[in-house]
Amino acid sequence: MAGPTIRVLALLELLQSHGRLSGAELAERLGVERRTVRRYIRVLEDLGIPLTAEQGRNGGYMLVAGYKLPPMMFTNEEVLAIALGLLAVRESGLLEDGPALESVQAKLERVMPAALKHRVRSVRENTRLVLERGSDPRQREVLLGLTEAAESRRTVSMDYTSRQGERMRREIDPYGLVFRWGHWYVSGYCHLREDLRSFRLDRLANVEPLPGRFERPADFNAAEHLQDSMQKACRQYDVEVWLYTDMASASRHLGSSEAVLQQGEGGLLLSTRTDSYSWFAWWLAQLPCDFSVVSPDELKAAVRKRGERLLRSCG
């Protein structure tokens, strides 16, 4: 059974091809009641489609004479998605070619009814997104190559430069890409390590598709994998901190991690690992709840040092 959206589009096609149909005729062709036809007509009017209705025994519905139906139709939610998407691309610097964005905007507006065109322009002129821009315009070629490989499920080879400056050739099955804190990452199966890995795109070069193909795990989430891998990488110091908040609030800030939260009297005991006491002290300072460091002494010193620096900034 076709859904309501399909029937609304079918009604529009009937009016376009027949010129004029009565409510009874439309109801019969669509297999719905006449009151449902009237609801579909209101949906089209909300989308900016100019319709006329003739009352009486021989009345019916028709498109306004001379109206040329655009090839693409959008709901209010779709218009918002398109407008915000174009704005996000522009603000992130993902595309260096400004005229390309202007061309896309112009093409979309050309096929939109006046009401929807006004909404698109309103979002563009009155909305701002504050995004971190991509770190290197040269990543675009790498990004496009990996997105195409992920879509076609093709294994790729690439040059990877580690944080230590070591350059090596890798083969991966790119499952998905993530933009996080100003950097692009690709997550997938690394043939060298025989395990899931994430790679930052500004450390990749010479991405080339290989003959091999892969099947992406049905439940794979690139963003969650990246979050987990970041939290598990090189964590060598155990830390324990009391967080004076509830479990729901703490989970929102911790996200998916290997951290252990134990309910205690008046708070939660956070047990986790870090590779930097200074960074962990900074992270604790961002929390909206009070806390107290249990161990180790090095973390207490790092928190004290950060607090003293903040106090000095206040004079």
Nearest by Cα to 144 from 225, 216, 101, 207: 207
Its CATH architecture, for the domain 139-231, is: Roll (2.30)
Helix (H, G, I), strand (E, B) or coil at 191: coil
Q: CATH 2.30.30 residue ranges in the chain?
A: 139-231
DSSP state of 201: G
Phi (first) and psi of residue 216, to 5 degrees: -75, 135
Q: CATH 1.10.10.10 residue ranges in the chain?
A: 4-63
Under 8 Å between Cβ of 70 and 79 = no
Q: According to CATH, what is the number of the domain 4-63? A: 1.10.10.10
Q: Which residues of 120-141 are buried (b: 16+ CB within 10 A; e: fewer)?
A: beeeeeeeeeebeebeeeebbe
| DSSP-assigned letters across all residues of 94-137 | ----HHHHHHHHHHHHHTS-HHHHHHHHHHHHH-----PPPS-T
Question: What predicted TM-score, i.e. pTM, was given to this entire model?
Answer: 0.48
The CATH number corresponding to 234-313 among 3.40.50, 1.25.40, 3.30.1370, 3.30.70 equals: 3.30.70
d(CA 293, CA 307): 13
Q: Could you list the pLDDT tens digit for every one of the 315 residues in the chain? A: 356 777 787 888 788 777 788 888 888 888 888 889 889 888 888 888 888 888 766 678 888 876 666 555 666 777 777 777 877 777 766 665 556 676 677 777 766 777 777 777 777 777 776 665 554 556 778 888 898 899 899 999 999 987 777 889 999 999 998 887 667 889 999 998 888 888 888 889 899 999 989 999 888 888 888 877 766 665 678 899 999 988 888 777 665 444 578 888 888 998 887 878 888 898 898 888 999 999 999 999 999 999 999 899 887
From the list 211, 285, 204, the residue with the least C-alpha distance to 241 is: 285
Question: Where do you find CATH 3.30.70 in the chain?
Answer: 234-313
